[in-house]
Amino acid sequence: MTKSGLLKLTSKLVGIRSEYPNEQEIGMFLLLYLKKAGFEVLTQNISRRRFNILATKGQGKKAVMFYGHLDTVPLSKKSEWETNPFKLTKKDGKLYGLGASDMKGGIAAFLEATKNTNTYVKIFLAVDEENISEGAWKAVQKKSDFFKDVVLVISAEPNLGNGLNSLATGRTGRSLYEINFVGKPEHIIRYRNAVDAIEKLVNFGSVLYSKREKMFKSHTSVAQLRKVEGESVGMSVCGEAKAEVEVLLDHEDSVKNVLAILRSLTKEEVKVKPRKTPYLEGYKFDKFPYQEEIVGVIRKYTGRKIKLYTRKSVGDDNVLATLKIPIITWGADGGNEHKPNEYIESDSLVVLTKMYQEFLHSI
């Protein structure tokens, strides 16, 4: 690994715009890059001009797989960026650019680390992570053979302030629910004869917020009202209102049991909000292959004890976890993900790459 090569690759990736659903250009670049690096490369079409990349290098019975996503969130609040979001800019030890931390820096790290390795390794690069994980879902459903000999997945997602000595061995899930509140409209002067749908919604919200810290199996699961709608017509009491509930659910809770809990709070209709891909369930792996080797590498390069934690966010990691293959999130230090002035710390990116490289050498 060379620092200049790592930074040059990161700069190239940041310079290729890939806000979903526009991942084709970066996909083509990485397709050629992996082939030149000696990988056998397959693509999986997801939709027009969108494809996953599945790459393999070496042979063996047990593969380690690195994961990354090709897309970034859309550029927003461009006027608040202090640098060009599509040109990697170094300032005070930080590398600024859209996707630098989430997660083009991480992709560059494992591409550099695997360039000269003799270890049996695979790479999975997916589209649509910042949307509904359509790429990851189609891969696990239609390309399951690719993952059959993978014993450990390493996601290079950023560590979100937890430090280079941290590994996320679990994540929360996320699901959305819709509730329709039906009232009985009357002229406002006769409100005592009416049933106010907005009042029903407000009462439900009050109950939800008063119980949300104790109503789930896990104390880390949490719910909130994400969206509310309701309006009276003319001078009438409101006859219909709607609410959307968002739940971050720990691995001890499921979409099914959360639905039952929400239904216990109201007599109104509650249903899971439809979407194209399944909702993401939480997961947690208490142990994972090569744990001793990874602990040793982290201690050597950071001088700190390893920290295992559950990450309170969702992503393609949740989808890959449905394969029942242990997955760890092992990424660099950075900041401002999903907002202006996103950055990854230069030294952290270099150290992460060295740790990946030494880990692969150790196995």
Predicted local confidence at residue 213, as pLDDT: 85
Query: Rounded to an integer, what distance in angstroms lies between the CA atom of residue 12 and that of residue 29?
Result: 9
Helix (H) / strand (E) element for 150: namely strand 150-155
Predicted local confidence at residue 260, as pLDDT: 97
Q: Where are the alpha helices (DSSP H) in the chain?
A: 3-14, 24-36, 105-114, 134-142, 144-147, 197-211, 255-263, 291-302, 316-321, 346-362
Predicted local confidence at residue 219, as pLDDT: 87
DSSP secondary structure of 164-183: TTEEEEEE-EEEEEEEEEE-
Three-class DSSP category at 86: coil
Bridge-based pairing of strands 166-171 and 307-311 is: parallel
To which residue do tokens 């989430």 refer? 102
Residues with pLDDT less than 70, the chain: none
Three-class DSSP category at 240: strand
Cβ(253)–Cβ(221) under 8 Å? Answer: yes
pTM of the model: 0.91
Per CATH, domain 3-172+282-362 is 3.40.630.10: yes
Query: Rounded to an integer, what distance in angstroms lies between the CA atom of residue 45 and that of residue 24?
Result: 11
Selected from 3.30.70.360, 3.40.50.1400, 2.60.40.1890, 3.40.30.10, the CATH number assigned to the domain covering 173-272 reads: 3.30.70.360
Predicted local confidence at residue 184, as pLDDT: 96
Query: Rounded to an integer, what distance in angstroms lies between the CA atom of residue 23 and that of residue 42?
Result: 16
Cβ(234)–Cβ(143) under 8 Å? Answer: no
* Per-residue pLDDT reduced to its tens digit, 31-40: 999 999 999 9
Instruction: Sketch the domain layout of the chain as residue ranges.
Output: 3-172+282-362, 173-272
